[in-house]
Amino acid sequence: MDKCTASVTKALGIDPNDHEGHRIMGAISLEKGNFELARHHHERAKQLCPSDAYIMGKNAALLVYLGDPEKALETVHWAMRINPFCPDDLYIDEGMCHYWLKDYKEAINCFKKIKTQNRDSLFYLAASLAKADRENESTEALHLAIQTTDMNVENFVNTQRYQNPDYNRELLEVLESIPC
């Protein structure tokens, strides 16, 4: 991680207006738990390239981790207008927004639109199904998530970089409540 940070710091020293450099530094900062620096770099990337759906999507993901799913959902919808071909990562971000806004039916719809499921979409689909009282489907989804990712529930939840640890606790409780 230190080499990555040094490399991006050097790149931003050469070109402080590099939107990708700011996005990457924002991702590194989030991974390190430096939420304010992550916010700064993601906002700067968005300012530098407001018509880039990928940048907007990453900004939305950060907003979810910062505990602002409403603003994140607005950002996701803006990104979807920019790129109507909507890549899977925007559906994941949209699904996570709906999950934290307690709109589990819509979260499930988003996660089911994904063509190539990934770690986050699989576990959040299982959690959304559990919250929607769809026990059999949530069990199947959780089995698939664990089998596909080779991660247990606790390890997955530890990958989620929420500023407020209550989000991690709640997600862990929901996933652990699913019968296996």
pLDDT tens per residue across span 117-144:
999 999 999 999 999 999 999 999 999 9
Taking the model in full, what pTM does it have?
0.94
Query: What do you get for the CA distance between the two ends of the chain, in Å?
Result: 35
Contact criterion met (CB below 8 Å) for 8 and 21: yes
* Residue 115 exposed, middle or buried by CB count within 10 Å (0-12, 13-18, 19+): exposed
Mean pLDDT, residues 38-63:
97
pLDDT tens per residue across span 157-171:
999 999 999 999 999
- Spell out the domains of the chain, with CATH numbers in brackets: 85-176 (1.25.40)
pLDDT at res. 1? 81
Q: What is the band of 146 on the pLDDT scale with cuts at 50, 70, 90?
A: very high
Q: Which are the contacts of 13, defined by CB distance < 8 A and separation ≥ 6?
A: none
Q: What is the band of 97 on the pLDDT scale with cuts at 50, 70, 90?
A: very high
d(CA 107, CA 163): 21
pLDDT at res. 180? 80
